[in-house]
Structure 1
Amino acid sequence: MQHLQQLLATENSQISQLLKLSLYGLEATLKQARIEYPNDPGKDLCENVILEIHNLLEPELITENPENVVIDEAKPDQLLNVLNELREVFNTDLELNFYLGNAPLQSQNDGDLWNEIHHKLLRVPEDLATNWKKRALEIAEKNGANLDYVNLEHLPFIKDEIIYSGLNGTVQARGLCLSKKAFFKSEIAPLYNSEDLQLLAGFLLLYTKFIEIYPDLHHALKSVFSFDVVSLKSQPEQRQLYLEALSDRLQRTQKTEENTDPIINLRAWIDMDEAIHSLVFVPPAERYSWWGKLQQESRRILKKVANKAIKAGHDVKIRQLSGLYADICAYSKDDVQLDHGGTPGEVLACLRLYTRINQEEHPGRVLFRSLR
């Protein structure tokens, strides 16, 4: 343990950085394994290992509650009774089912139900999500619950944003927000100086936390598993492999920032963008949902990197593949077919952009809905 601490504290060390990123991924994997295997004989030791890793990476616990408000956590045995109406109308909404599939809500108490619904709303178009947030609040307030802007779980990212508020009163539920303070308290934030690289580091930290929160996340990163979309819940070993690949691509992108060749830098950004967009839901999130817009931040920066290469005299074309699959399949390769979600015959998500760099074509990769 002493040598681990010394290596982690070593400044300007690529090995130290690699160790930190690997430990973040291992921490996330063990937390999920603890949930999935509650009767495992190694559960108690697993708790201790998680605590040791956390103490190595985060000597100061990232908790935001500046007013020192006493938070009454939602009790596990808080039965589903106050928000029963909300559950029923959510499960039977046909427009939501189009984007989310027909899987019913699983929560067994009011606090968890509030979170599960708002998690799902991150995947639907923002106007639909906004209307449903208002409707959920009306039902909650009618039954004696109130919005709580203090009891929030803070996720590290490069901006501050309340994703959704918690509840107090008849229902105790914790909300969710993005936090710059949590990001800059992390061990890896100081390793990246530019805003663009900080965005990528923010994705790594945020994804690590999201994978803990969302049991229905999948990945479709070809370099890790090339044949299908993989559930991170049913195959926990894929969680670690995906996070390791994401951190590896982040490090490669950082190294190319020091390279004067804009094409080498561009290729690294394309690979990193693919890794970011390969963390998906099934059905995939709608492009103009909160989740879709979050991932588009990567492509916004990627366009800047491509423009630098163009200004340097290179012939660069980048295309995000969307619309009818029959119209774009000539520009993609190793695509993954899904049999539900979205409109049959259409692209559901563009995992990797199609690019043409100095007359050399590189196919993209998509998830698409089968015609059946």
Structure 2
Amino acid sequence: MQHLRQLLEIENSHLAQLLRFSLYGIQASLKQAQTEFPLDPGAELCDEVLQEIHALLQPISLKSNSNNELKLSRLREEFDADKELKLYLGNSQLQSQTDAELWNEIQRKLLRVPEELATSWRQHSLTIAQEVGAVEDTSNLYPLPFIRDEIVYPGLSGTVEAKGLCLSQKALINSEIIQVSESKDLNSLAGYLNLCINFIEIEPDLHHALKSVFSFDIVSLHSKPEQQNQYIEALIHRFQRTQKAVENTDELLTLRTWIDMDEAIHSLVFVPPGDRYSWWGKLQQESRRMLKKFVDRANNAGNDVRIRQLSGLYADICALTKDDLQLDCGGNPGEVLACLRVYARINQEESPGRVIFRSSR
């Protein structure tokens, strides 16, 4: 152990760097293994090993934290300067004050850009993190309740300690906000709502555009906590209405409440709204596919139902909408940026949609 410490403390040594990276890798692997095999006979001794590795690495971490400079400052500079990212994220600069905050802020912003761009930037950010002595860590993750397990993005360990993000079925089962039920459809819906509510807690960039809460603008949930409370209350209230409709097996009533529910989910937005081919965009589209199941059920019950997700040029669809909102950023001038509520025709009765569009100026 003494010789390991001596080698680690040699400055500008490639061998010391290799050993340091190896120890971080072993540390992350053992933590992951403990999670997967909690009853392993070596679990208790493994805790001791992890403490020894932590003790070896701790002086290095403390030494590197002796000044206030961000280790990931290069990552911040390159991210802020990327013109392609600005097309999807707007011109706002990164706000984080620590490396851990910066890692999470960047990774969450990448959830709103097209997946191909996000993938290349996620790999680039990991490369920069590795250059300063950090390693990918998939064992230390903040769980968002949902209907499946998924690593959204990894955390870091080593010279930078940062949590990652994951979707978690266990967190959904243990949720105290909206309980799961015997209905598979309601369970899926509960997953979406629990995810939304928990994501609001950790993502300061989220806004809402739910007309029943505030009809005149897109409102920041971070800077206006009273709007956050009202939006969450609206989510829960709409879920309860949908639950009652499903239990009453009224196909049309269920469809109408599901349209309202879909609107509430899609009214949780960024400014500018996330790209439809981003992780966030694809997640919300899963909700819209669920809605189409209830359209099919209503039609199979003898009704005449049509819904339309509104996209493309605003001039082409504005006759089908009401109380739309406009932005001067994101997408192309004159385009629909997000469909908050679908246009619906239920047995000849029309219900207008609602969108966010880019001003044509």
TM tier relative to shorter chain: 0.7 to 0.9
Q: CA deviation at 1:105?
A: 0.8
Following the alignment from structure 1 to structure 2, what is the Cα–Cα distance between the partners of residues 163 and 223? 31
User: In the alignment, residue 285 of structure 1 is paired with which amino acid?
Assistant: G
Name which of structure 1's ranges 318-327 and 178-187 shifts more when overlaid on structure 2. 178-187
Matches within 5 A, 1:132-147: 132-147=121-136
Name which of structure 1's ranges 102-111 and 179-188 shifts more when overlaid on structure 2. 179-188
- Tell me which of 65, 76, 79 is aligned to 1:90: 79
Which position in structure 1 is the counterpart of 2:139? 150
Give the % identical residues.
64
Following the alignment from structure 1 to structure 2, what is the Cα–Cα distance between the partners of residues 154 and 79? 30
Gaps of 5+ in 1: 1-63
Q: CA deviation at 1:146?
A: 0.5
Q: Structure 1, residues 139-186: CA drift from partner, whole Å, max 9, x if none?
A: 111221100111111111111000100011111111010110111112
Q: Structure 1, residues 284-340: CA drift from partner, whole Å, max 9, x if none?
A: 111111111111111111101100111111111110000110011011110001111
Which position in structure 2 is the counterpart of 1:185? 174
Which position in structure 1 is the counterpart of 2:90? 101
Which position in structure 1 is the counterpart of 2:238? 249
Residue pair 1:287, 1:293 contacting (<8 A) in 2 also: yes
Which position in structure 1 is the counterpart of 2:115? 126
Q: Secondary structure at the match of 2:112?
A: coil
Following the alignment from structure 2 to structure 1, what is the Cα–Cα distance between the partners of residues 323 and 88? 24
- Tell me which of 262, 265, 272 is aligned to 1:276: 265
Following the alignment from structure 2 to structure 1, what is the Cα–Cα distance between the partners of residues 341 and 134? 43
Which position in structure 2 is the counterpart of 1:211? 200
Q: Structure 1 residues 115 and 77, CA, compared in 2 at 3 Å: closer, same or farther? A: farther
RMSD: 2.2
User: In the alignment, residue 326 of structure 1 is paired with which amino acid?
Assistant: A
Q: Structure 1, residues 42-90: CA drift from partner, whole Å, max 9, x if none?
A: xxxxxxxxxxxxxxxxxxxxxx956587798999998443211111111
- Tell me which of 256, 260, 264 is aligned to 1:267: 256
Following the alignment from structure 1 to structure 2, what is the Cα–Cα distance between the partners of residues 143 and 121? 21
- Tell me which of 285, 288, 297 is aligned to 1:308: 297
Following the alignment from structure 2 to structure 1, what is the Cα–Cα distance between the partners of residues 66 and 290? 45
Matches within 5 A, 1:210-359: 210-359=199-348
Following the alignment from structure 1 to structure 2, what is the Cα–Cα distance between the partners of residues 77 and 345? 51
Matches within 5 A, 1:12-23: none
RCO comparison, higher one (Cα < 8 Å, 6+): 1
Which position in structure 2 is the counterpart of 1:195? 184
Residue pair 1:337, 1:367 contacting (<8 A) in 2 also: yes
User: In the alignment, residue 168 of structure 1 is paired with which amino acid?
Assistant: S
Name which of structure 1's ranges 69-78 and 255-264 shifts more when overlaid on structure 2. 69-78
Runs of 4+ in 1 over 6 A off after TM superposition: 68-78
Following the alignment from structure 2 to structure 1, what is the Cα–Cα distance between the partners of residues 234 and 360? 32
Following the alignment from structure 1 to structure 2, what is the Cα–Cα distance between the partners of residues 232 and 257? 30
User: In the alignment, residue 197 of structure 1 is paired with which amino acid?
Assistant: L
Q: Secondary structure at the match of 1:215?
A: coil
Following the alignment from structure 1 to structure 2, what is the Cα–Cα distance between the partners of residues 321 and 267? 18
TM-score under structure 2 length normalisation:
0.81
**If you compute each CA radius of gyration, which structure gives the higher value, 1 or 2?**
2
Which position in structure 2 is the counterpart of 1:173? 162
Q: Secondary structure at the match of 1:367?
A: strand
Q: Secondary structure at the match of 2:128?
A: helix
Residue pair 2:111, 2:278 contacting (<8 A) in 1 also: yes
Q: Structure 1 residues 189 and 212, CA, compared in 2 at 3 Å: closer, same or farther? A: closer
Q: Structure 1, residues 329-352: CA drift from partner, whole Å, max 9, x if none?
A: 011110001111221110110000
- Tell me which of 320, 325, 349 is aligned to 1:360: 349
Which position in structure 2 is the counterpart of 1:4? none
User: In the alignment, residue 184 of structure 1 is paired with which amino acid?
Assistant: I
User: In the alignment, residue 323 of structure 2 is paired with which amino acid?
Assistant: D
Q: Structure 1, residues 263-282: CA drift from partner, whole Å, max 9, x if none?
A: 11100100000000001111
Following the alignment from structure 2 to structure 1, what is the Cα–Cα distance between the partners of residues 287 and 119? 24
Residue pair 2:332, 2:358 contacting (<8 A) in 1 also: yes
TM-score under structure 1 length normalisation:
0.79
